[in-house]
Structure 1
Amino acid sequence: MMANIERIFKDKEGFRGFRAPGRVNLIGEHTDYHYGFVLPVSINKFFYFYLRQNRENKFRVFSENFNDYYEFDYSNLIFNREKTWINYLMGVISEIKKLRGEIPYFDAYLYGEVPMGAGLSSSAAYEVSVAYGINEYFDLKIDKKEIAKLSQRAENNFVGAPCGIMDQFIATFGREKTALLIDTLTLDYEHIPFDIKSRGLRLVVVDTKVKHSIAGEGYSTRRREGEEALRILQKYLNINSLRDLDEEGYELSQKILPSPLKERVAHVYNENRRVLNFVNDLKNDNWENLPKYMLDSHLSLKNLYEVTCEELDFLVEKALEYGAFASRMTGGGFGGSTINLVPESIIDNWIEKITVSYENKFGFKPDVLVLETSDGVREI
């Protein structure tokens, strides 16, 4: 079998390649599935997808990361519990089939450099690179907004992860030296200038290297709590989502909702406003206000939404103590990473201090990634 795999993939002759970036969310955490506002940036860590049509009446796929091969046809386009890495590609094919019918069979080669489990959205980079690549290769004429949406549906419907639209959207529409303001209700978006190097800053992600066992369950629980709060509020207010709350509705929510529902609503309501204030200050060059928004976001995620953990809280505290301009957790929480804006003049010393202090505290080193912003999905 391995000889056959090497023959298919060794030279990539006839293959077309595509890549989509991972992302870091600057601010706007746990707002996207409440149809709120988010502000991610796409990063220079990518998922690569190469494909070439074949005449074998089956999809033949090799993953370099897993050093694994899998083949299937339309009769067994079903969730695979053993080779979970294939499900994202199968999910995208399933969603494209619903839109355009069956596409021709192809060989595919997969490689991802977005760290898995770090909260940098390796799965969305995977889905978007595959969806965009298939669309371009077979000229299916699916527009880019639908590429993002079908990629999200692949993760929701096939993989079974209840993610919002943010990750797939930034992988599709990201642009170098900008952040992407996304209204997850209307899917309107705006590129906001975010040239941190001109400010003498670097974008640094510190990966805790932990993912607590509650992560999946905790994420689903937070979604259910938000939906439960919404149902109660809809008895009093004409709203379709927590995003629709105005100041009066928010004040009512804090009076009538029990804990922890009122705390969850408080986070979502105020986080949406932090995103819009953050964007406004970016546009007006008021960078001095950004650290407070990011810290307030982290503290809200810690105290109101309860999705941080000891490792994340420690990293944010030490990041600021050692001279970071701004810091907060990013991603779903319960592990994962922090995002930090660090003065370039202290970057090496800062990384050394944060690494040593974390290892002294927890017994192992974090991963530290100094990142650049990047463009969204494209052919390579």
Structure 2
Amino acid sequence: MSNSTDFIPILPLSSISQIYPPPNIDAQNDRYRTLIETFRSFYPNRSPKFISRAPGRVNIIGEHIDYAGFGVLPMAISRDVLVAVDVFEDDKDGRVLIANVNQEKYKSHNWKFEGKDKIVEIVVEEGVCNWSNYFKCGYKGILQHLDTDNPKGMCCLVDGVVPSGAGLSSSSAFVCSVALATSRANNENLTKKQITEISIESERLCGMNTGGMDQTASIFSQNEHALYIQFLPTLTAMPIKLPSINPPIAFVIANSLVTADKVVTAPIHYNLRVVETKLAAYDLGITLFGKECVNLRQVCDLHSQTNEVKASNLEYLSEFLEKHHPESNKRDGYSLDELTKLLNLSESEIQAMFLTKFPVRAEKFHLYKRSKHVFDEALRVLRFYEVCLANEKNGFCDQGAFEGLRENGIHDQMTFESLGRLMNQSHKSCKELFDCSCEELDKLVEICLDGGAVGSRLTGAGWGGCTVSLIREDQVESFIQHVIANYYKPLFPHLTKKQLDDAIFATRPGCGAAIIVCPDN
């Protein structure tokens, strides 16, 4: 399975109407115009040559399984990160000046190219990640790929409207937009696949053991399509239409307003989960096949003896865990000392193999719960994808019977409920097996379901951030008012209308990354 757009460069567009749906065009025109005007005032006598943009994403289903090697099903949202760029054509120092439209929160930075062996210094302290580091990551990743001694200098102005710490991938949207901008400034038309793979590696320079879903969704997404993304044996992104039902499907994103900064909490949350899944893969590989596996997808492939993920293999591995894994009745996890006995490795070997590449802090490591979630969640992604793929005329019955079901709305309701049920199961697993939810997210999911959502779940890394809810399009307004009345008003009574509009909003599958040529350039 491959996408014909994998090897197509992201070519410049002349109009943002090719990116945003008609209802948003006027507001986006104003935003782009303001960005250009602000750029000119911030950098006197200069105008941007182009604007790179990359969207955030909402993961519909498939949480914390990308770094385990399994496919996921996200979609781009309309919220994005813009980087307006002018190029210093004759600057031999490779100067980079960056500023943000929100100058009170994000201070300006500048640096010079430090040679291709270093490029730029990125200092990441535990618990602190300056916004400029994300820019430097995208910039450095592209220049490493280009292997140049003489990169172009740039002056840049950033405008990001993806809420930070909300689980909507604001950091990846930023890194992707910068990578695209740096490529364009240096007259390189890299392919979608190249930009994606470079962005994945680049964000890891900030200390995040990222799996790749966020960057792929930001680059490859298409209007009105979700993406079925697979990472093995190679990165592929298949656009998939969501089922056409009446009334149409809609998604509403609601921010719990609990900030989830992945970099700050990575050692005890995100990075730790990556390590736990890798420990589980090693354990299962040795136990089942006498082989060392680097991720849980490799365990699945060894069982199926193919590179194709099949439902039957995932079901077998999930059932095996329940029946045979020693931790299935030991819910408090393993200490490092206990892991040495389970894995037949010394403590120094475990440290070297699993605990040194990215910062991790833990007293206990949960192998059963994490691997059980991964196999079950991978199965849910397959089921969701199958529902989306199913031909409406034979998805549930023969053609003659279908017409009656369609006329009575039964087929639509079955499709709708099938997708919602998978989303609800996903949240339950994230909460109980992966321990990546929080009290506020659980409360928000409950309110969303009470308000008419057929499915609702946390999205993104968890530990705060957002939920995504599946509802019918004709219920959007009443649903949003229900959530405002029952979640935001009691817990955050002083939010302004603009803050509420930023906290909860409906979204459609949006367009991926793009370059927009500025007027007069």
TM over 0.5: yes
Determine helix, strand or coil for the equivalent of 1:40. strand
Is the contact between residue 178 and residue 195 of structure 1 (CA under 8 Å) also seen in structure 2?
no
Map 1:222-371 to 2 at 5 A: 222-236=273-287, 237=289, 238=291, 239-243=293-297, 244-245=299-300, 246=313, 247-254=315-322, 255-258=324-327, 259=331, 260-284=366-390, 285=392, 286-359=415-488, 362-364=491-493, 367-371=503-507
Determine helix, strand or coil for the equivalent of 2:258. strand
Determine helix, strand or coil for the equivalent of 1:37. coil
Map 1:149-168 to 2 at 5 A: 149-157=197-205, 159-168=206-215
Is the contact between residue 41 and residue 373 of structure 1 (CA under 8 Å) also seen in structure 2?
yes
Other-structure match for 2:192: 144
Structure 2, gaps ≥5 residues long: 1-38, 301-312, 332-365, 393-414, 517-521
Other-structure match for 2:111: 72
Q: Please tell me the root mean square deviation across aligned C-alpha atoms, in Å.
A: 2.5
Distance 1:240 1:228, change over 3 A: closer
Among 89, 92, 103, the residue aligned to 2:135: 89
Is the contact between residue 180 and residue 192 of structure 1 (CA under 8 Å) also seen in structure 2?
yes
Distance 1:363 1:128 in 2: 33
How many aligned positions are there?
Answer: 376
Distance 1:83 1:278, change over 3 A: closer
Distance 1:45 1:12, change over 3 A: farther
Determine helix, strand or coil for the equivalent of 1:235. helix
Is the contact between residue 177 and residue 195 of structure 1 (CA under 8 Å) also seen in structure 2?
no
Distance 2:480 2:295 in 1: 41
Among 6, 15, 19, the residue aligned to 2:53: 19
Is the contact between residue 254 and residue 466 of structure 2 (CA under 8 Å) also seen in structure 1?
yes
The aligned amino acid for 1:39 is: L
The aligned amino acid for 2:474 is: S
Higher strand share: 1
Is the contact between residue 277 and residue 295 of structure 2 (CA under 8 Å) also seen in structure 1?
no
User: How far apart are residue 241 of structure 1 and its match?
Assistant: 2.2
Is the contact between residue 373 and residue 429 of structure 2 (CA under 8 Å) also seen in structure 1?
yes
Moved more, 298-307 or 318-327: 318-327
Q: Percent same amino acid at aligned positions?
A: 29
Determine helix, strand or coil for the equivalent of 1:33. coil
Larger Rg: 2
Normalising by structure 1, we get a TM-score of: 0.91
Is the contact between residue 196 and residue 202 of structure 1 (CA under 8 Å) also seen in structure 2?
no
User: How far apart are residue 160 of structure 1 and its match?
Assistant: 1.1
Distance 1:90 1:172 in 2: 19
Distance 1:317 1:14 in 2: 46
Distance 2:45 2:320 in 1: 63
Other-structure match for 1:172: 219
Other-structure match for 1:35: 69
Structure 1, gaps ≥5 residues long: none
Other-structure match for 1:125: 173
